[in-house]
Amino acid sequence: MKFEHPRAGLRFSKFEKKEQTPFERLFEIFKELITHTSGDFDEAIEWLRELDKEYKLTNEDYTIDDFIEDLKQKAYIQPKPKEGSNGQGEGFILTPKTEKLLREYALKQIFGNLKKTAAGDHKTKTTGAGQESTGEFKSYQFGDPLEKIAMTESIKNAQIRNLEGDFTLQDQDLVVEDSLYKTQMSTVLMIDISHSMILYGEDRITPAKKVAMALAELITTRYPKDTLDILVFGNDASQILLKDLPYLEVGPYHTNTVAGLELAMDLLRRKKNTNKQIFMITDGKPSCLKLPDGTYYKNSVGLDDMIVEKCYNMARQAKKLHIPITTFMIAQDPYLQQFIRTFTEANRGKAFFTGLKGLGEMIFEDYEKNRKKRLE
């Protein structure tokens, strides 16, 4: 009997785009809307209904009400708890599952498809135990991971030693791939929530919010040994939790940059990691200080000398603590950009005058670069 084996090789076929279900199509739009509405489900659905009227997103077989029912069934939303009791109120709120999904969505949008690694560590100039090979070898020492032994090079060493006589492989022949020593990084992300972040018809807070969600997801999945604290600053500064990010809104606030930096440095003082950094997303204009008596000094006209000098002092103080500040400036005013340049010089940090376009990519690239341990 003759058997015919299929010929090995590659098989090509015409690419066929996977058809999205009605739910999947609407869900992509819903994720954008829920971010823009700061987690307000009712407002997001209202916008979705308006878009449906204009662009015919649904049909008789699948309506917006069907979509809402699917959101409930898939545990993306839950009934809003009734105030003051254990019962259910009217409307819906997002579940923790959706909050995490929004962070993953922001990460995919901004940083691309990044896969989780076993250990999220940072490159340094020092060689040692790490994940990234330098392309060089060193003698095996007790404690080196066995999987790092370079067998080909080790056997070569044994062959050279055994030019005459029987071949044996001994401890002295073993070499391991040298790798970059890696360390941990503690980061504080500061987000400006002053009123100017939505002035002049430009929504600056939504891109900033997306970047915060993406950076949070990046660190928790790819670099789990790192720490990320997030704070917002307006008239005052306050730390927010990861789960609060989708609900972030601007308010009728001035910009108290000093309060934000004070809180950021206080958070970093508590961290044991040697490597610390501050990322600040702002439109650059400090306009408020909290005075010792608890009152606020505010001045929105131009740049106030007293407020600006306090900002410079905070930058110099961070420098003394070896905490670099990287500012992502999203306004284009020349006089504000000059303030940020002087602020950056005082700290010896970095500044990116990005505008809104490319903000996420810029922060990601700088995060990767800053992960070097500073050997000064």
Average pLDDT on 15-39 reads 89
DSSP conformational letter for 59: B
Q: How far is CA 116 from the centre of its chain?
A: 14
Q: Which residues contact 92 (CB under 8 A, 6 or more apart)?
A: 41, 42, 68, 71, 72, 77, 78, 79, 80
Q: Is 113 helix (H, G, I), strand (E, B) or coil?
A: coil
On the question of pLDDT at 73 being above 70, the answer is yes
Residues 178 and 190 in one domain: no
What is the pLDDT confidence band of residue 116, given thresholds at 50, 70 and 90? very low
On the question of pLDDT at 44 being above 70, the answer is yes
Residue 143 confidence (pLDDT): 66
Determine whether 148 is exposed, middle or buried from the number of CB atoms within 10 Å of its CB (0-12, 13-18, 19+): middle
Average pLDDT on 129-140 reads 62
Residues 194 and 65 in one domain: no
Residue 85 confidence (pLDDT): 60
Residues 234 and 283 in one domain: yes
What is the pLDDT confidence band of residue 11, given thresholds at 50, 70 and 90? low
Residues 58 and 155 in one domain: no
Residue 264: inside a domain, yes or no?
A: yes
Average pLDDT, the chain: 83
Lowest-pLDDT range, 92-106, 145-159, 188-202?
145-159
The pairs formed by 2-7 with CB atoms below 8 angstroms and a separation of 24 or more are none
Residues 166 and 210 in one domain: no
What is the pLDDT confidence band of residue 343, given thresholds at 50, 70 and 90? very high
On the question of pLDDT at 294 being above 90, the answer is yes
Backbone angles phi, psi at 324, to 5 degrees: -75, 145
pLDDT in tens, 261-279: 999 999 999 998 888 999 9
Residue 346: inside a domain, yes or no?
A: yes
Average pLDDT on 132-143 reads 67
Residues 51 and 141 in one domain: no
Residue 116: inside a domain, yes or no?
A: no
Residue 113: inside a domain, yes or no?
A: no
DSSP conformational letter for 307: H
Average pLDDT on 77-104 reads 85
Residues 76 and 164 in one domain: no
Residue 119 confidence (pLDDT): 42
Residues 304 and 330 in one domain: yes
Q: How many domains does the chain have?
A: 3
Task: Please give the residue range of the domain that contains residue 178.
Answer: 123-182
Residue 109: inside a domain, yes or no?
A: no
